Amino acid sequence: MKHARTSFSLLMLICLPLVMVANESGISVVPFQLIGNSIFVSGSVNGQSGNFLLDTGSPNLLLNKSYFKGIRQHAVGLNILDIHGQSQPASYYVVKELRIADRKMKESHGLVVDLSALEQAKGITIAGIIGYSSLRNVEVVFDFDNWVLWIVPLDRKGNRIAKIESFKMVESFKLKMSGHISYITARFNGKKLRLGIDSGSEVNMLNRRLVKRNRSNFEVTGHLIVRGLADEYLACGTGTLENIELQPGQKASLEVALADMYHLNECLGVSLHGLLGAPFLMQGKVSINFRKKRLYLGQSLEEGLARQSAIAAERNLVSTDK
């Protein structure tokens, strides 16, 4: 029996009864579960309920073919490509209603794919993956102080229709878009970096070529296995990157896995240098508003990264492979 850390980057439990609270303003508070570093919510598509992974790095709503039957459009040739360049065929599915807990979301269609490898690795039933297309019209607040999501309705300009009294914006990042991927700009050793925001990635990732040229700022800590959507994986080195400026003048340390970004960047209009995954969102309260193209922090970046480190220290992400 050997032990290896295993994480997921998807790009592209038994289902427990979770209670959603909606106030008069229409803001929804949805409890989530962490399995590894994957964020799962209770939801349903056309009345079929189950566990859904929340993945801002996925362009579409993806549905598990074990529970949904789509229409294969051979002339279109739909395929899903993951971060490792592995592809699998997808079929089209008409969505009449998508709900996160009891909140109805805007979505017209999904893609049916094989999620059996992800189910087996996570040890739970997975109905699907909720991606960018389903989240672009709302603001999502990841509240790791209370382990809930706040889903906030927006007007056409991206302004909140109602306030969240417990969320006070302290710092913010400007988001840019490359296809369905939002990213922020940072600086490292005088070089501008583009870092994608991907809640579906269990780790922060960085292009290994960048570290090769800056070894003095990187401390190796080990390795892990990064899996994609299909049953494929790659071993990646891990470590601590020092002196990265996520905000101008604010140098920080960031735990990252080193990976080849080639296949992801092939599909994007702008080449990314890395991804900020679910660990980056574990800062207390972090909000993403795609309409405003802003990422908001409910605490200073320094306080947030300290909070994230404390959460990571409390959790055991070691899985067992035979």
What are the CB-based long-range contacts (under 8 Å, 24+) for 37-40? 37/7, 37/202, 37/203, 37/277, 37/278, 37/279, 37/317, 38/8, 38/122, 38/200, 38/202, 38/278, 39/142, 39/199, 39/278, 39/281, 40/13, 40/124, 40/126
Please, what are the domains in the chain? Answer: 11-153 (2.40.70.10), 171-321 (2.40.70.10)
Per residue in 105-121, pLDDT (tens digit) is: 999 999 999 999 889 88
Return the pLDDT at 9.
Answer: 54
Per residue in 211-260, pLDDT (tens digit) is: 877 788 888 888 777 766 666 667 788 899 999 999 999 999 999 999 88
Per residue in 128-156, pLDDT (tens digit) is: 999 999 999 999 999 999 999 999 999 99
What is the three-state SS of the chain? CEEEEEEECCCCCCCCCCCCEECCCCCEEEECEEECCEEEEEEEECCEEEEEEECCCCCCCEEECCCCCCECCCCCCCEEECCCCCEEECEEEECCCEEECCEEECCCEEEEECCHHHHHHHCCCCCEEECHHHHCCEEEEEECCCCEEEEEEECCCCCECCCCCCCCCCEEEECEEECCEEEEEEEECCEEEEEEECCCCCCCEEEHHHHHCCHHHEEEEEEEEEECCCCCEEEEEEEEEEEEEEECCEEEEEEEEEECCHHHHHCCCCCCCEEECHHHHCCCEEEEECCCCEEEECCCHHHHHHHHHHHHHHCCCEEEEC
Please give the mean pLDDT across all residues of the chain: 84
Per residue in 217-230, pLDDT (tens digit) is: 888 888 777 766 66
Per residue in 278-298, pLDDT (tens digit) is: 999 999 999 999 999 999 999
Q: Which two tokens stand for residue 63?
A: 């549905």
In whole angstroms, give the CA distance from residue 163 to residue 29.
Answer: 13
